[in-house]
Amino acid sequence: MPTDNPTTSDEASTSRADSEKVREISLDEFEPYGTLAVTGAYFVLLLVLYALLYFVEFAAKAPHIIE
């Protein structure tokens, strides 16, 4: 049954990466708080920068196209 992880590799070849793994986290255990923090910060940054650019850098400057 083909999957996205075909058994073309030697399982031992993953040992180098796996040795840095400290624990397994399953789907039900995983709570991406860190992602929420990073994306939440990005969200705030986007709103602030957009408003600054739009209302200060752009709209407040004349002349602009009025029609």
Partner 1 sequence: MHVHRFEKLWIGLSLFLIAAFIGIVLFGFTVMDLKVPGVETGETVDPMTVMTEEPFSQPGVRKVSDDHYEVYMLAQQFLFRPGTGQPLTLPAGAKITFHMTSPDVIHGFEVPGTSLNSMVIPGQIATFATRFPEPGSYGIICHEYCGSAHHNMQGEIEIVPPSEFDESNLISQ
Partner 2 sequence: MTFVNHYPKAARIVKANFIVAFVALGIGGFFGLIQALHRTDVFRGFVSSVEYYDVLTGHGVLLALVFTTFFIVGLYQWGITRTLEREPENLTFSWTWFGMMVVGTLMAVIAILGGLVPGSGISAAVLYTFYPPLQGHPLFYIGLVLLVVGSWMAGGDWFWSYRKWRADNPDARIPLQTYMVIFTWLMWYICSLGVALEALVLLIPWSLGIVEKIDPLLPRTLFWYFGHAVVYFWLLPAYFVWYSILPKLSGGRLFSDSLTRIVFIFFLLLSTPIGYHHQYADPGISLVYKMWALIMTLVILLPSLMTAFTVISSMEHGARQRGGSGYFAWMGALPWGRPAFVGCALAGIMFAAGGFSGMINASLNIDMLVHNTAWIPGHFHLTVGTATALTFMAITYWLLPQLTGKELKFKSLALAQPYTWFIGMTLMSNALHRQGLAGVPRRVSEPQYAGIDYEVPFGTMAEMDWQVAIGGVILFVGLILFLVVIAGTWWAGSAAAEVDDHIPPPLSGPEHSPRILDNLKLWIGVAVVLVLIAYSVPLAEMVMDGLFSPGALPAPV
Q: How far is the CB of 67 from partner 2 (least distance, A)?
A: 12
CA separation for the pair 33, 25 (Å, rounded)? 14
Q: How far is the CB of 11 from partner 2 (least distance, A)?
A: 7
CA separation for the pair 2, 39 (Å, rounded)? 34
CA separation for the pair 22, 59 (Å, rounded)? 53
Would you tell me which residues interact with partner 2 (CB under 8 A)? 1-6, 8-14, 16-17, 20-27, 30, 32-35, 37-39, 42, 45-46, 49-50, 53-54, 57-58, 64-65
Residue 18 or residue 48: which is nearer to partner 1 going by CB? 48
Provide φ and ψ at 39, rounded to 5°.
Answer: -70, -35
